[in-house]
Amino acid sequence: MWKSIASNFFTVFIVLLVAAGALVGWGQSQYRSAGPLEDAICVRVPLGGSMALVSRDLEAKGAVSYGRIFRIGSDYADKSQQLKAGSFLVPAGASMEEIVDIVTRGGQNTCGTEVVYRIGVTSRSAVVRELDPATSAYVETAKYTPGVDEAPQAYVEARDDRDVRYRVAVAEGATSWQVVDSLRALDVLEGEIAEVPAEGSLAPDSYEVVPGGQRSEVLARMQAAQELILAEAWENRDTDVPLKSPEEALVLASLIEKETGVAEERRQVSSVFTNRLRQGIKLQTDPAVIYGITRGEGVLGRGLRQSGRLAIEAALNPDDTPYIFFVADGTGGHAFAVTIQEHNANVAKWRKIEAERNADN
């Protein structure tokens, strides 16, 4: 009898063990396989949130079929305590395992609201925009000029939301004065700026900022980025260029940037300036005169000496040409010449184009 009971118990135990193994296998499969989400969504994890709260939100939005499996899987992967606050884009078909990784890896938010402070050559603006998960494209909800216009309600609401992220985007061609003047107008930043940094010392790029951050710290990051760009370009320069220092390269890059808005022409324009320097001919470029008058304060057209990486690289690696002159050709580009006679003919063509355009206006 006891032998029969033991046998039956052992049989039941084996059955339960097999069932448990099958259940675990099924759970693992559910955790790692593609999820039910048909369209991408934005998931917001509040500060101090829990994996349980996130799992309920994901279930309600149809991103996971079994919230309990989501929680058990995150526990088993030792990620339940690594949840990061923010707004995150969850793509269609994402598995539970992939979603756990998304909400625990940290870093920059991938969806939700962001405010971009754009510092351009001719204007500045603050743009509030939302990422549309379905298209992965940003939709602008408000725009205004800081320091000039009254902040719209959408901006005020965004500023009071701790999950909103902020960026300062500096365009190529904006002067140091324009950058400083714009940073002073941003109400999410704090602190004084003692002086305007040297022209050309701020790298045009996009910089993440946080409310309460110091304006001087943002400037320091811009300067550090430009130093790296300039050092790298100087290290890889054509050693035959008649430039004595990275600072001289920066000045030349600024003039190149001002003279042409056509990327393909940068190295050709650089070759003209390089040939003139080698032959002891004055550069005779308008941007230097304009800057001498304005000192970079106000709007300068396409800007001067806030050079980007490509302009710096062009200054240090010019094309090998015999050109000494160039003038606008009416297409947005330039006509290049070797002799003064060729140049005068190109100038005459440009003057005719100018006259025809003025007549049409």
Considering the domain architecture, whether residues 211 and 320 belong to the same structural domain is answered as no
Of 199, 220, 241, the residue that ends a domain is 220
Within a domain: 151: yes
Q: Which residues constitute the domain of residue 273?
A: 232-360
pLDDT at 3 over 80: no
Chain segment 134-156, per-residue pLDDT in tens = 787 888 999 999 989 999 999 99
Q: Which of 52-56, 247-251, 282-286, 326-330 is the least confident region?
A: 282-286
pLDDT over 50 (residue 228) = yes
In the listed set 71, 104, 137, which residue is the last one of a domain according to the structure? 104
Q: Same structural domain for residues 158 and 278?
A: no
* Residue 226 located in a structural domain: no
Residue 115 reports pLDDT greater than 90: yes
Q: How confident is the model at residue 73 (pLDDT cuts 50, 70, 90)?
A: confident
pLDDT reported for residue 119: 95
Both 160 and 73 in one domain: the answer is no
Predicted local confidence at residue 289, as pLDDT: 38
pLDDT attached to residue 287: 47
Q: Residue 227 falls within a domain, yes or no?
A: no
pLDDT at 49: 84
Q: What is the pLDDT of residue 86?
A: 81
Q: Are residues 267 and 343 in the same domain?
A: yes
* Mean predicted lDDT score pLDDT of the chain: 83
pLDDT tens for residues 15-38? 555 555 555 566 677 788 888 988
pLDDT at 125 over 90: yes
247 and 354 belong to one structural domain: yes
Same domain as 351, residue 239: yes
Does residue 39 lie in a domain region? yes
Question: Which pTM was predicted?
Answer: 0.68
In terms of domains, do 123 and 28 share one? Answer: no
In the chain, the number of structural domains is 3
Would you state the pLDDT for residue 218? 96
Averaged pLDDT for residues 167-183: 91
Residue 135: predicted pLDDT:
80
Q: Taking 90 as the threshold, does the pLDDT of residue 116 lie above it? A: yes
Q: What is the pLDDT of residue 144?
A: 94
Q: In the structure, what pLDDT confidence band is assigned to residue 8 with cuts at 50, 70 and 90?
A: low
Q: So what's the pLDDT on residue 293?
A: 32
278 CB neighbour count, 10 Å cutoff: 11
Inside any domain, residue 52: yes
Same domain assignment for residues 177 and 255:
no
Q: Among 56, 78, 104, give the residue marking a domain's end.
A: 104
Same domain assignment for residues 131 and 199: yes
Residues 82 and 190 in one domain: no
pLDDT of 339 > 90? The answer is: yes
Give 261-310 pLDDT, tens digit per residue.
788 899 999 999 999 999 988 876 654 433 443 344 444 444 444 447 88
Is 329 inside any structural domain?
A: yes
- Residue among 81, 83, 75, 72 nearest 43 (CA): 83
pLDDT at 5 over 80: no
59 falls within a domain: yes
Residue 59 and residue 120 in one domain: no
239 shares its domain with 356:
yes
pLDDT-above-70 percentage for the chain: 85
- Residue 35 or 162, more confident: 35
CATH number at residue 58: 3.30.1490.480
